Each structure stands twice: as structure tokens, then as C-alpha cells.
Structure 1
Amino acid sequence: MKSIEVKTILTGNHGTGMNVYRGCTHGCIYCDSRSACYHTPVPFEDIEVKKNAVELLDSALRSKRRKCMIGTGSMCDPYMPCEKTLKITRGCLEVIDRHGFGATVLTKSNLVLRDFDLLKKINSKTKAVLQMTLTTGDDGLCRKIEPNVCPTSERFRVLMEAKKESIPTVVWLTPFLPYINDTKENIMELLEMCAKASVRGIVIFGFGLTLRDGNREYFYKSLDEKFPGLKDRYINQFGTRYEVSRPESDSMYPMVRRFCMDNKILYRPDDTFAYLNRFEEKDVQLTLF
């Protein structure tokens, strides 16, 4: 792990996204952020800490003319173990709260529970959304494909705590790895978790995964170690395709659509992202004593 100084912290067309770390230690075997096109650290576990992230965010939000949602976690999890002591993500949430912006965090870690006080505070004035990734209902399988982060049962507990604290949630159901976790039974189990946790929406792009230079090599190496023989099946069936999924997976869309409609869960990506990006200022009544 090394500390670096950067010139800007907000990214994207509208300057609403940020990543306070580069690289990740979760060890997820499928991680697209390992792809060479992103120029993340090599090895990916060699974390780069943006030590001036809080100061840059403070300056950036001071100059913004309109309030908006600020998101983190699109490339690297903001709640890796190093965050427990560094508290850079927490510092950024404090800045977001102080300037009256909204926030959304995407994570696989239960460390986010530490910052529920800030998410609740932000949510009392505008909107703070917890996004959580779920890939399998089987904790044993979860530990094989996402080895260095809390298992699904613990992430579900976090979602239920968010429900208890009235913090809105969105769940990413992705990726589904062919012949590993892309079964109807697994997907339905995850959907049931979403319904129990009263999530506002799900993000699901398909029933497969993407493989590019950089993450493909790591994924195949992991298959050899954890699912012997499966790499050859992938190579024979998919070759060097970017999008990897079984043809029969398309039959699962009606099942997902029907379940989400029945449970009032947003399921179209455009609808879910519109909810995440929409800044909602709440009326806060002051009581004079």
C-alpha cells in the first residue's frame, strides 16, 4: 500500500463520482477493474491511497453551483480493510454531509455499518443510498469467488440493518459466472433477499460476466485453482469473447421482471440509475426552544 497525491477527485461527465482508493484486496476472481484498460495498480492488491481526497472533495463541493448525488465504489470498494484505520471514505462522507449533498456508496463490506450514523444524517436532509453487491446465496461459494470480504449472509444482515434505519438500498446482482452461480435457484434466492430487505432497486445487466485483457488472465488462473477443468470449458465455448454467458440464461429475464414488479423493485437499469442520480432535498423543520 502506498499514498499518492492526486489533482482531482471527482470524475465522470458531471463530476459526481469518486474513488478514494485504487486497487482492491477483496480478491474477487471476476473483477473487471483488473482490466488493463483502467490502468489500475499491478498487482491489483497493491493499494494506492489518495491521501488528499478529503481536501479535494471539500474544495470541489464548495465550487459546485448545484447540489447533486456524489457516488463512490464504481471501480474500487471504498470499505476495504485499510479504510478501518485510514477513514478516508468516512472523511468524504463528512464533507458531503457538511455541504448538503447526497451520497451513494457501493460496497461488499460490512465495514459500512460503521458509517451508518453519517448515512442517516445525510439521508435526513437529502438522500443517502447504500448499494451492496450480491452474487450467490451460498456462503461457501461466496468465499471461493470473493475470498477476502464478508460473505453474502453478512451482507444481507447489513441490508436488513439499513432497512431498520430507513437507509434506502440498491443491490447489484452481478456478475453471474457460467456454470458457477448462474442458476435460476441462486438468482431467485438473491431476489428473495432483496424483497426481504425492501431494496428500492436492483442493477442487473445480464446473466454472465465480461472478460478483458487483465481480468481474463486472473479469472482463468482462479478457475484452475478453485474449479479444476472449468477453464477449458470456458475457452472451448466462449473463446476470447468479451461478454460471456450461456444462451439459455436469457430465459431468466421474465422471472426477474415478474418478481420485481410483484415486489415493487426497480429492475430496469435506466430506472435504477435515475433513482440513484436524483438529488432529493427534504423539508427539514427547525424547532425553536
Structure 2
Amino acid sequence: MHYVESKSILSANNGMNLYRGCTHGCIYCDSRSKVYGMNHKFEDIEVKQNSLELLKKELIKRKPSMIGTGAMTDPYIPLEKHLQYVRNALKLIYKYGFGFTCITKSDLILRDLDLLKKINEKSKAVVQMTLTTADDDLCTILEPNVCKTSRRVEVLNELNDEGIPTVVWLCPILPYINDTQENITSIIDYCIDANVKGILCFEMGLTLREGNRQYFYSKLDESFPGLKDKYIEKFGNNYSIPSPNNHKLMDIFQKRTSGAGILNNADEIFEYLHDFPQKSYQSTLTFK
């Protein structure tokens, strides 16, 4: 871990990253790619020590809307348990009448359930949870340093019980590893039981580029001997790595989600995630 002073904290679209880097150890992580220009070891977490200061200034200036985090770094990495940057950011988001959404794989988010509920009552809070494999043993290989899928499903159910809407990221799906009908069907079953609002799935496969490709291949050598050679022969240096089972699995995905009334169109889901309740904005005018 190391601290830095940041010049900004919110993007033009209200995206926020309090940390940079991750220790979850997911073997497929795109954030390792060199294109992002990270100049430190991926596991050496960069902490933006002035981020809360910057966030407060931005929230005061901006029209209330949804604040999102987790696109590049899971906000609930183990360091957050002690540093509490996310928790303190949630307090500011609630105070100034904004909404909140995040992408995570961690059950640490339940620590902040009290604030999520307050935000959701005042405006809107949505939790996005990544599920890639229904098998816990396989999960510990693909995503070794974060809670297993079964625990994430418990989190989804608890959030549903508490009235917090959820969206699931069903990706990536790794060719010859978790691209099976049994896996996809099981994850969708979990989502139906947890009453998720939508499931994001950008076809069955993954993306690889310089940086994350090398790391991914090294992990294939450790846990799936011989599979790296199959990838190289089949996909070369392609960015897009589609599953040979893509069409069959996407057909299952579309039919099962549509039948269950779960949103499955990415544009519609992103529109839902970005939509800020207008009545919440009106209620903040007197507050400010």
C-alpha cells in the first residue's frame, strides 16, 4: 500500500476510484492491462489520501445524480476494512443527496448496509455483484482472495431482503473452464432466487491484452496444465476470446432471463444504473 495525492476524484460521468490496484487475485483481471498505465505493482494498492476532501468539493458543486465505483478496482478490497474510505464516501453521498452504485465481489459491502439503506430511502442505491462460476472450488482458483460464489449469493439474498436492488455481472466466462450449460444455468438460478434486477453478460468469453494476458497464462499453467497452448493455438493474440459454446449459452441466457423477468439488455441495465430519481433531486434543493 502507498498513498498519493490525487488531482481529481470524479469523472465527468460521476465514476469514482478511491483505490488503484487490487489484491483479490482474479486470474483474468483486465485492470492488469498495460493500457491503463499503472506505474506500480498491481497488488501494491494506491490509496488516494485526499479523495474524500475532493469528493466533498465535487458533491457540493454537482447536481445530485448516481455516483458509481468499481469499474477499475473493487472498492471493497481488504484494505477498506481498516481504511474505510468507501464508508466515509457513502456518508458524504448520503449527506449531499446523491445515489450510489458499485461493482464488487466482496461480502464486506454488508458492513455498509446501514448506509446503503439510508441512501436507497433518500435516493437510490444499487449493488452490482460479479458471479462467474457456481462451483466454489473452481471459484477459489479463478478468484482466490475474495469470498466464494456461495457467499456472494448469500449477500445478494440479504440485500434483496433489505430492499436494496442488485445487478449481476455474468462475466467473464472462460473458454474450456466455466463455459458450460450447468454453470450458466446454476448462476441464473441463483439470480432468480435473489430477485436480481438485471444480469449483464457481454457474450460468453473474455478479453485479453498485454499485461493481463501474461498473468492469465501464468495462472493457466499453474492450475490448468496444457490449456495455455490451446488458447494460443485457438486465439493467438486476439483481444476478444469467445467461448466455442457462445451461441448455445447465450440462447440459454436470453431465454431464462427473459422468462424470469430479469433485465438482460446491457443498454437498458446501464440506463437503469445511471437513472437518478427526479423526486430525490427535488428533495435536496431545500437541503442544500
TM-score of the two chains, using structure 2 as the length reference: 0.95
Q: For residues 35-114 of structure 1, what are the structure 2 equivalents within 5 Å?
A: 35-64=33-62, 66-114=63-111
What's 2:286 paired with?
A: none
SS in 1 for 2:95: helix
Aligned to 1:23: 21
Match of 2:145 among 126, 132, 148: 148
- Once the two structures are superposed, residues 98-145 of structure 1 have per-residue CA deviations (whole angstroms, 9 ceiling, x without a partner) of 000000011000000000000000000111001100000000000001
Tell me what 1:10 maps to: 10
Shift of 1:260: 1.1
Query: Does 2:244 align with 1:220?
Result: no
- Aligned equivalent of 2:30: 32
- What letter corresponds to residue 61 of structure 2 in structure 1? S
Please tell me the residue identity of whatever aligns with 2:122. Answer: K
Q: Secondary structure at the match of 1:104?
A: strand
Q: Which runs of 5+ in 1 are unaligned?
A: none
The answer as to 2:186 corresponding to 1:189 is yes
Q: Is there any run of 5+ residues in structure 2 with no aligned partner, and where?
A: 284-288
Structure 2 equivalent of residue 123 of structure 1: 120
133, 138, 158: which is aligned to 2:155? 158
**Matched residue count:** 282
CA RMSD of aligned residues (A): 1.3
CA distance in 1, matches of 2:203, 2:41: 28
Task: Give the CA deviation at 1:173.
Answer: 0.3
What's the counterpart of residue 211 of structure 1?
208
The letter for the 1-side match of 2:98 is F
Deviation track 1:55-106 (CA, whole Å, cap 9, x = no partner) reads 1111001001x22100000000000000000000111111100000000011
Q: 1:259 aligns with which of 256, 263, 279?
A: 256
1:131–1:169 Cα contact (<8 Å) kept: yes
Shift of 1:282: 4.9
CA distance in 2, matches of 1:114, 1:31: 25
Q: Distance in 2 between matches of 1:170 and 1:118?
A: 18
Q: Which amino acid aligns with 1:30?
A: Y
* Secondary structure of the structure 2 residue equivalent to 1:70: strand
User: Would you identify which runs of 4 or more consecutive aligned residues in structure 1 move more than 4 Å?
Assistant: 281-285
CA shift for structure 1 position 281: 4.4
Displacement after TM superposition at 1:41 (Å)? 4.6
For 2:179, give the aligned amino acid.
D
- SS of 1:10's partner is coil
Contact map agreement 2:208 2:238 (CA 8 A) in 1: yes
Distance in 2 (alpha carbons) for counterparts of 1:139 and 1:251: 24
> How big is the shift at 1:255?
1.4
